[in-house]
Amino acid sequence: MRPNGSRLDGTGLRPFVLRLNRRQLIGRGIGAAGVAALPASLLAAGPALAQESDQTDALEPVVELEQAVELAYSLAEEGATLKPDTKRAFESYGRHAGDHATALAEALEQLDVEPPEASSDPSDYEALADFDAEAPEPRLLQFMIGLEEELVAAYEELTPELEEEDLVRSGAQIGASHAQVLVALRLLAGAPPARLTELPDAPTADGATDSEDSEASADEGE
């Protein structure tokens, strides 16, 4: 279990949204409202969905990656010397990632699965292993571009695993948002026109990417 991710610790970082599970909501006397707010599709599913599944297993790492990305933007915005446009962009895209993490964590809770808790320590996130919040702007932009590419790929892999229509649509909308952020960061980094819309390889039906398949074919040919 990760440490509690409250960032009201004098760092000036935006506090994470307080997340409550359904049990906690009921304990706080707003259970009726919480249950009334649940989508009929999930309520109707009942106990069959109220447990871990391929869907929730697929959602959890994506929530964690969104939390990591929100933290990275936030720390970079605070720690690095950035041009005003880049600072504004990091602030906005960190908010996007936070909104995604919150929404998907809510979905997990509605499926009765405890979402991963956010951490304020980058070392808790594998995706941030090489992250340096005080790095020069060009290096930070490249790092964030890498994270956004990872997110675009993550949503392409997530979509086939999702069961509820609303979640599938939300996953598509979030993946699209990361694609736009990717372009925005490349524009800030001065990428050549031909590279602006380049996306990570699409996963194939068996979950591998096209490039992995090509590499495998090349290996077999050797």
Partner 1 sequence: MAVQLPTRLSRRRLFAASGATLAAGSAAALAACGTTEDENESTSPAREAELLNEVLAQQLAVIEVARFAAKGAPEEAAAAAAELRELRVASTDALEGAIAELDGTPAGEAAASVEAESAVEGLARQLEAAIAASVDAIGEINPERRQPVQRAITEDAAALAVMRSTLGEEVAPDAFVMGPAAAQEQVAE
Per CB under 8 A, residues contacting partner 1 are 17, 34, 37-42, 44-45, 92-93, 95-96, 99-100, 102-103, 106-107, 109-110, 152, 155-156, 159-177, 179-184, 187, 193-194, 196-197, 199, 202-203, 205
Q: Which of 63, 73, 64 is nearest to 170 (CA)?
A: 63
Q: How far is the CB of 102 from partner 1 (least distance, A)?
A: 4
Q: How far is the CB of 121 from partner 1 (least distance, A)?
A: 23
DSSP β-bridge partners for residue 203: 209
Q: How far is the CB of 211 from partner 1 (least distance, A)?
A: 14
Q: How far is CA 165 from CA 22, 42, 134, 146, 200, in A?
A: 22, 11, 41, 29, 25
Q: How far is the CB of 175 from partner 1 (least distance, A)?
A: 5
Task: Find out whether 102 and 54 touch, Cβ atoms under 8 Å.
Answer: no
Residue closer to partner 1 (CB basis): 127 or 162: 162
Residue closer to partner 1 (CB basis): 8 or 38: 38
Q: How far is the CB of 126 from partner 1 (least distance, A)?
A: 24
Residue closer to partner 1 (CB basis): 82 or 183: 183
Residue closer to partner 1 (CB basis): 107 or 133: 107
Cα within 13 Å of Cα(31), Cβ side: 7
DSSP β-bridge partners for residue 85: none
Alpha-carbon dihedral of residues 140, 141, 143, 145, nearest 10 degrees?
A: 160
Q: How far is the CB of 98 from partner 1 (least distance, A)?
A: 8
Q: Which two tokens stand for residue 182?
A: 């990717």
DSSP 203: B
SS3 percent helix, strand, coil of the chain, rounded to 5, is 65, 0, 35
DSSP β-bridge partners for residue 209: 203
Residue closer to partner 1 (CB basis): 8 or 202: 202
